[in-house]
Amino acid sequence: MINTTLCHLEKDGKYLMLHRIKKENDLNKDKWIGIGGKFEDKESPEQCNAREVLEETGLTVHSAKYRGIVTFVSDKWETEYMHIFTSNDFSGEITECNEGKLEWIDKNELLNLNIWEGDKIFLKLISSPFTPFFSLRLEYIGDKLISAILDNKTII
């Protein structure tokens, strides 16, 4: 099992999204995702989040809100705990990412992108600053979402 962070940087009603088009054998190939990656040894979720945002975007996160955790279960990939963050407190200039194309996407357009079905669930949750910390378990066969459990309640 692996631990990762996923951060949705917000500015002017848009999220900075990464279109994963540059890596082969990529779990997220051709999908749009937030910014993030795998924990390094001894890192906290907050440290991993800040490091991954800087590495992938060139932006420095000054503060981020820890929104929830997603347990990603797949028949093809290792189980993953994704620690979900949002931030509108960052600075710097965006640099090119070696994993894909970075683009500011209007939050109202996110669900029209090629994203994981389960991402639609947590994107709705993080769209409100008042959503409490959540735990979401998503189970896939291939790219098909077969189960979603939010805070121990089955929703799919």
23 pLDDT more than 80 = no
Q: Is the pLDDT of residue 25 over 80?
A: no
Strand 134-141 relative to strand 32-33, pairing? unpaired
Nearest Cα neighbor of 66 from 107, 17, 118, 6 is: 6
Q: What is the model's pLDDT at position 75?
A: 96
pTM of the model: 0.95
β-strand partners of 141: 144
* Host domain of residue 115: 2-154
- Domain tally, the chain: 1
Q: Which long-range contacts (CB under 8 A, 24 or more apart) does 72-75 make?
A: 72/118, 72/138, 72/140, 73/137, 73/138, 73/139, 73/140, 74/27, 74/139, 74/140, 74/141, 75/140, 75/141, 75/142
Residue 31, token pair as written in the block: 């999908």
Please report where in the chains the tokens 């945002």 appear, as a residue.
53
**What CATH number does residue 50 fall under?**
3.90.79.10
Please, is 52 exposed, middle or buried when counting C-beta atoms within 10 Å of its C-beta (0-12, 13-18, 19+)? Answer: buried
Share of the chain above pLDDT 70, in %: 100
Looking at the chain, the whole-number percentage of residues with pLDDT higher than 90 is 92
Classify residue 110 as exposed, middle or buried by CB count within 10 Å of its CB (0-12, 13-18, 19+): buried
Q: How far apart are the first and last CA of the chain?
A: 23
pLDDT digits (tens, 9 = 90+) for 64-95: 999 999 999 999 999 999 999 999 999 999 99
The reported pLDDT for the residue numbered 94 is: 98
